[in-house]
Amino acid sequence: MTTPSIVRLVTCGSVDDGKSTLIGRLLVETDSVPHDTLDATKKTRRPGSIIPAGEIDFSLLTDGLEAEREQGITIDVAYRSMSLLDGRRLIIADAPGHEQYTRNMAVAASRADIALVLVDSTRGIRPQTLRHLTICSLMGVKKIIVVINKMDVSGFDKSLFDSLVAELQLATNRLALHEVFFVPVSALEGDNVTFKSDRISWYKGNSVLEEVQEWRDQSSDSEHARLSVQLINRADNFRGVSGTISQGRFKVGEEVTVLPSERKAKLARIVTFAGELTEARSGDAITMVLEPDIDVTRGDYIERTKLYTQPADRFAANLVWIDEEELIHSRSYYLVNGSGMVPATVTNIKHRLDILDGSHQSARTLAMNEIGLVEIATDAPIPLTTYSDNRNSGNFVLVDRVTFNTVGAGMVVHTLRRATNITKHDYEVDKSARSKQKGQRAKLIWLTGLSGSGKSTIANALEKRLFGSGIHSYVLDGDNLRLGLNKDLGFTKEDRAENVRRVAEVGKLMVDAGLVVVVALVSPFKVDRDHAREQFASDEFIEVWVKTPAEICAQRDPKGLYKKAKSGALPNLTGVGQDYEPPTSAELVLDGTEDVAINVEKLIKTIL
């Protein structure tokens, strides 16, 4: 295998461990900094800086944001590059050390070959150091160089270095990090950064730069070949699919499979900007011409048929949660891998990982910067690989469906067996036939609103009207369902999400049976209602907001819930202790203070 032309490195560790200073010195001592930039670091000083005027403040070379310079911290990931002695290009990602910016560090680590994990010898090993080591392990970083920094403060005390190494080896062994090296350093004074220091005679290993330059990717070419389709390339008498090969190699004439459709074709031509190839390998950007010209779209994958990934809809994955709002299992998110996106639900949190001792803790949710093993179900089969096999096709991010913020970064551990053991059966008597037999159009009317808004009263009157008209219908009432199917659920955000999911699934079955289904459910969160809507055809789901002022609901208080909430006995009552997110595109809005008969008449006009 040829030596890669680019090596990617991430620096990590706790705040003030000296990451920016170390990288700044590496850049300066390898002549990788423009002279005008270097001159600026001699004139600029942070508040409280101890660097004498006229000398280089190395940390300024990587902190690009104004807030970083003002506060003396790293916030965003700063990317810099330099040349190694053998001609390879080193891309350095200086990751932030603050816990609140762990998400930035995780992104940088996901592409890194090498990690420099800094430890301030004067402060010892801190939780963020262990968190970063854990993330490096999960992200598949191949080589770890632990830099014990600020050794000059202790006079390069060997016993201090040895004690820190012994403590850190407990963590690296637990995390199964095999290629780990420890280097005593003074980033401020330059000892063991680019050259071996005469002041540390007891240390016999390499400097940081020497250790970086020794890294070689020893992995062999994978039999598994994959290309992610990024563009459909059309021209006169030409149609190809363009993308970059992320793993393995392709040869002209072999059979390939398009995923997730599993359509097969022959690879007729491999076209590049420089001309045609008979073979292409990992890292090459190419255009494939297939015979026959089967349907391929952006976000699909192409693999060799003799060893292709079976699409699945159930996965176990390590998940780093990076959002300020906690993870809510049973809530639908978007799962994004490459240019593909599919709705997905975290169905189970197997455990949360304790970064300090590696123990597995039971958990119902994950808070920001926490790491856990979860099970995920996607709405459609997708061809994710294990992360250990391919970092590109085994990773994903979860995106909030309302804010479109990235909330989690995941690494696939394995496909769940049940994903391939279940097959959908299509029966000849279908929804259309059942509806026709009843002489009606099956649909679901979803009534949402605060407790006491009048949902159940309206649902009851509506079903009486439908029943009297000979329409086959059924009411799914939130309280009634909590007496049986949903009796195990509480009123937390995650339980409410699961409550809505179950009701939607039951409603879907009833609509499939040809019924008109009326749902009366608080369902306070828009994202959960939107996910319920997606289970139905566009003309089958009617969202109805029973809009009643909160003070009127509290006056009615038919179940005594508002009285309990006022006394503190019911902290999660919607509209009091928990938010209610009104619909933004409901098909119908009813005034809950109007006469029930008037609201039922409006519903009948909408339904029929």
Distance, CA of 68 to chain centre = 26
Whether residue 72 is predicted with pLDDT greater than 50 in this model: the reply is no
Residue 177: how many other CB atoms lie within 10 Å: 22
Verify whether residue 393 is a known catalytic residue: no
480-491 pLDDT per residue, tens = 999 999 999 988
Specify whether the CB–CB gap between 576 and 479 falls below 8 A: no
Spans of all domains in the chain: 6-213, 226-307, 312-420, 439-607
Q: How confident is the model at residue 1 (pLDDT cuts 50, 70, 90)?
A: very low
Least confident residue range of 65-79, 228-242, 460-474: 65-79
Q: Among all chains, which residue has been given the structure tokens 């910067």?
A: 369
Long-range Cβ contact pairs of 172-178 (< 8 A, separation 24 or more): 172/133, 172/144, 172/146, 174/358, 175/133, 175/134, 175/137, 175/358, 176/137, 177/133, 177/136, 177/137, 177/144
Q: How confident is the model at residue 290 (pLDDT cuts 50, 70, 90)?
A: very high
Whether residue 286 is predicted with pLDDT greater than 90 in this model: the reply is yes
Whether residue 503 is predicted with pLDDT greater than 70 in this model: the reply is yes
Mean of pLDDT values over 191-200? 92
Using CA atoms, how far apart are residues 215 and 234, in angstroms rounded to an integer? 41
- Tell whether domain 6-213 is in CATH 2.30.30.790: no
Architecture, CATH, for domain 312-420: Beta Barrel (2.40)
pLDDT higher at 555 or 70 = 555
Q: How confident is the model at residue 40 (pLDDT cuts 50, 70, 90)?
A: low
Q: Which residues 6+ apart lie within 8 Å of 306 measured at CB?
A: 255
Opening angle at CA 399, ends 319 and 225, nearest 5: 65
- Structure tokens that stand for 107 in this block: 């992104």
Q: How confident is the model at residue 321 (pLDDT cuts 50, 70, 90)?
A: very high
Specify whether the CB–CB gap between 247 and 228 falls below 8 A: no
Whether residue 339 is predicted with pLDDT greater than 80 in this model: the reply is no
For residue 41, the model assigns a pLDDT of: 64
Q: Which residues 6+ apart lie within 8 Å of 380 measured at CB?
A: 260, 313, 342
For residue 67, the model assigns a pLDDT of: 42
For residue 390, the model assigns a pLDDT of: 84
Mean pLDDT of the chain: 87
- Residues making up the chain, counted from first to last: 608
Specify whether the CB–CB gap between 393 and 243 falls below 8 A: no
pLDDT higher at 368 or 62 = 368
For residue 61, the model assigns a pLDDT of: 67
429-452 pLDDT per residue, tens = 999 999 999 999 999 999 999 999
Whether residue 75 is predicted with pLDDT greater than 50 in this model: the reply is no
Whole-model pTM: value is 0.74
CATH number of 226-307: 2.40.30.10
Using CA atoms, how far apart are residues 29 and 18, in angstroms rounded to an integer? 17
Using CA atoms, how far apart are residues 506 and 486, in angstroms rounded to an integer? 11
DSSP 8-state assignment for residue 220: P
Using CA atoms, how far apart are residues 293 and 256, in angstroms rounded to an integer? 12
**Is 312-420 in the same CATH topology as 6-213?**
no
Peptide bond into 52 cis (omega under 30): no
Specify whether the CB–CB gap between 362 and 353 falls below 8 A: no
Whether residue 37 is predicted with pLDDT greater than 80 in this model: the reply is no
- Structure tokens that stand for 502 in this block: 């179950």
H-run or E-run covering 265: strand 263-272
Architecture, CATH, for domain 439-607: 3-Layer(aba) Sandwich (3.40)
For residue 35, the model assigns a pLDDT of: 66
Instruction: Return the closest-CA partner of residue 345 out of 371, 317, 325, 367.
Output: 317
H-run or E-run covering 275: strand 275-277
DSSP 8-state assignment for residue 3: P
DSSP 503-568: HHHHHHHHHHTT-EEEEE-----HHHHHHHHTTS-TTTEEEEEEE--HHHHHHH-TTSHHHHHHHT
Whole-number percent of the chain with pLDDT over 90: 54
- Structure tokens that stand for 135 in this block: 């993330």
For residue 74, the model assigns a pLDDT of: 44
Whether residue 18 is predicted with pLDDT greater than 90 in this model: the reply is no
- Structure tokens that stand for 206 in this block: 């390499």
DSSP 150-196: -GGGGTS-HHHHHHHHHHHHHHHHHTT--SEEEEE-BTTTTBTTSS-
**Residue of 110, 222, 523, 585 marked active site:** 523
Specify whether the CB–CB gap between 528 and 501 falls below 8 A: yes
- Structure tokens that stand for 407 in this block: 């909330």
Whether residue 39 is predicted with pLDDT greater than 90 in this model: the reply is no
Whole-number percent of the chain with pLDDT over 70: 90
